[in-house]
Amino acid sequence: MMVIGKLLSLLIAGLPAIVVAANGSGIADADVTTSNVVKLSAPDGSARATFVKTGATLTHFWVKDKHGKFRDIAIGFDNLTEYETAESGTLYFGPIVGRYANRIRNGKFTIPISKNASGSGKQFQVPKNTNNGSDTLHGGFDGYNTRTWEILARSTNSVTFTLVDPDGKEGFPGFVFNTATYTLEHDSNFKISLRAWATEKTPIMLSGHHFWNLEAYQESEDLLSHFVQFNSSRFVATDGKLIPTGELTSVENTPLDFRKAKSIGGSINDTAVAEYCGTGCVGFDNCWVYDNVEKTPIFSVWSTNSGIKLDITTNQPALQIYTCNGLDGTIPRKKEQGGPEATYGKHSCLVIEQESIIDAINNPEFGVNQIFGPERRYEWEAVYRFSRLT
């Protein structure tokens, strides 16, 4: 209890702006903190969103298309109790992922970090829940996506979720106090702020694992009309199990070159020969390093069918894109997306994760410090700006 009290004191002393921004007074709304569901609306009515406490998960997101009609462009379930099931935990539909997002080679790391946990530092073993039990994905079997977050504060357009991650949970050292703040602002701006404070040195890498289809499946069931552009000349090279090798590879003359806008759906088949998303895989499941993180926006995607465009700014140095390669048509879509008769199929949506360079805790050559602790807090910021093509 003393540890939790100390972490709460850090929150109050270090980030009062988050709480004030959440409801204007810093006092949580008792009527909503007991509910699992939070509904938000932008002050000008330009966007609406729904969240659940399980995983601090985004379940619905409505913005206007080129005709001025709202579409729910977030992939997920209509029945919100589905997010509490074991199946949902393995799908990662819309939650915050952590304590360490993406993959960890052999489920091992050292502090200080070393190449493939081979150094003389203290070694830690975390659960291996991917690649047939050989590596770790998104924090282990009971990552942040499956846990119940509490509501610290909220208003009609903003909510702050909190999660205390115990010392030793899933093998990670130190208590970590986490906050995730979602805010809907004017002009369909969606702001996400993630913060974490640890009592001991520990790796932390968080991200929002949100699935999108900017058409809400109304015109098509693929990504051919989705065009993507971002400035990155290098991607993280991985082996057949998507574990980083430590190399950063040029995107030149590869399907992973999005420095000029192109259809991401139209590029999927081009990935087959080199198996960029793993052995036997077709599609994208890759991490790119931004050339200039100060660029605004740093990432853009739009649908020529719906006219919905998303521009992202962030303080994160890298980006992971996943083109729903593993969806097999067995999960019913939301009603507004053609379900429950229609299902979510392969390559019909994409995940856009703003984050640090994946598995840098096993690749010191990346030059990224992902170890945080009492003297170094974790901060993640992104603004998703939705607009309409003219």
233 and 348: one domain? yes
> Mean pLDDT, to the nearest integer, of 79-89?
92
Which pLDDT score is estimated for 8? 56
50 and 194: one domain? yes
155 and 249: one domain? no
- pLDDT tier at 62 (50, 70, 90 boundaries)? very high
The DSSP annotation for 15-71 comes to -HHHHHHHHSSS---HHHHTSSEEEEE-TTSSEEEEEETBTTEEEEEEEE-TTS-EE
* Rounded-to-integer distance, Cα 344 and Cα 350, Å: 11
Contact present, 18 and 195 (Cβ < 8 Å): yes
Which pLDDT score is estimated for 317? 98
Identity of residue 122: K
In a domain, 13, yes or no: yes
What pTM, to 2 d.p., does this model score? Answer: 0.93
> Mean pLDDT, to the nearest integer, of 17-34?
37
Contact present, 83 and 93 (Cβ < 8 Å): yes
Domain of residue 305: give its range.
226-360
39 and 142: one domain? yes
186 and 238: one domain? no
pLDDT in tens, 351-361: 999 999 999 99
Q: Which two three-digit tokens encode residue 374?
A: 């009492």
Res. 122: pLDDT tops 70 = yes
Q: How far is CA 14 from CA 54, 266, 369, 380, in A?
A: 26, 46, 22, 15
Q: Which of 169, 189, 212 is the last residue of a domain?
A: 212
188, 187, 248, 256: which is closest to 228 by C-alpha?
256
Higher pLDDT, residue 33 or 92: 92
36, 22, 389: which is closest to 214 by C-alpha?
389
pLDDT in tens, 307-337: 999 999 999 999 999 999 999 999 999 999 9
Res. 13: pLDDT tops 80 = no
Higher pLDDT, residue 117 or 35: 117
Supply the mean pLDDT for the chain: 93
257 and 170: one domain? no
pLDDT in tens, 252-292: 999 999 999 999 999 999 999 999 999 999 999 999 999 99
Res. 347: pLDDT tops 80 = yes
Which pLDDT score is estimated for 213? 98
Res. 181: pLDDT tops 50 = yes
Q: How deeply is 67 buried, as exposed, middle or buried, from its count of CB atoms within 10 A (0-12, 13-18, 19+)?
A: exposed
The DSSP annotation for 203-246 comes to E-B-EE--EE-TTTTSS-SSSTTEEEEE--SEEEEE-TTS-EEE
Which pLDDT score is estimated for 293? 84
Res. 12: pLDDT tops 90 = no
Res. 10: pLDDT tops 70 = no
Q: Which residues contact 367 (CB under 8 A, 6 or more apart)?
A: none
Q: Which residues contact 227 (CB under 8 A, 6 or more apart)?
A: 261, 262, 263, 264, 301, 302, 303, 304
> Mean pLDDT, to the nearest integer, of 79-94?
93
191 and 234: one domain? no
- pLDDT tier at 303 (50, 70, 90 boundaries)? very high
- pLDDT tier at 294 (50, 70, 90 boundaries)? confident
* Rounded-to-integer distance, Cα 90 and Cα 330, Å: 14
In a domain, 374, yes or no: no
Which pLDDT score is estimated for 21? 35
Percent of the chain scored above 70 by pLDDT?
A: 91
Which pLDDT score is estimated for 295? 87
Q: Which two three-digit tokens encode residue 339?
A: 């379900």
In a domain, 388, yes or no: no
140 and 192: one domain? yes
Which pLDDT score is estimated for 35? 81
Give the containing element (helix H, strand E) for 180.
strand 176-185
Contact present, 21 and 40 (Cβ < 8 Å): no
177 and 247: one domain? no
In a domain, 117, yes or no: yes
In a domain, 305, yes or no: yes
In a domain, 182, yes or no: yes
> Mean pLDDT, to the nearest integer, of 203-223?
98
Res. 2: pLDDT tops 70 = no
In the chain, how many domains are there?
A: 2
Res. 104: pLDDT tops 50 = yes
> Mean pLDDT, to the nearest integer, of 182-209?
98
119 and 199: one domain? yes
Contact present, 167 and 158 (Cβ < 8 Å): no
Contact present, 90 and 97 (Cβ < 8 Å): no
In a domain, 370, yes or no: no
Which pLDDT score is estimated for 245? 98
186 and 243: one domain? no
279, 207, 276, 243: which is closest to 360 by C-alpha?
243
Q: Which residues contact 85 (CB under 8 A, 6 or more apart)?
A: none
Res. 26: pLDDT tops 50 = no
> Mean pLDDT, to the nearest integer, of 83-99?
94
In a domain, 375, yes or no: no
Residues that are catalytic = 209, 353
279 and 148: one domain? no
CATH number at residue 305: 2.70.98.10
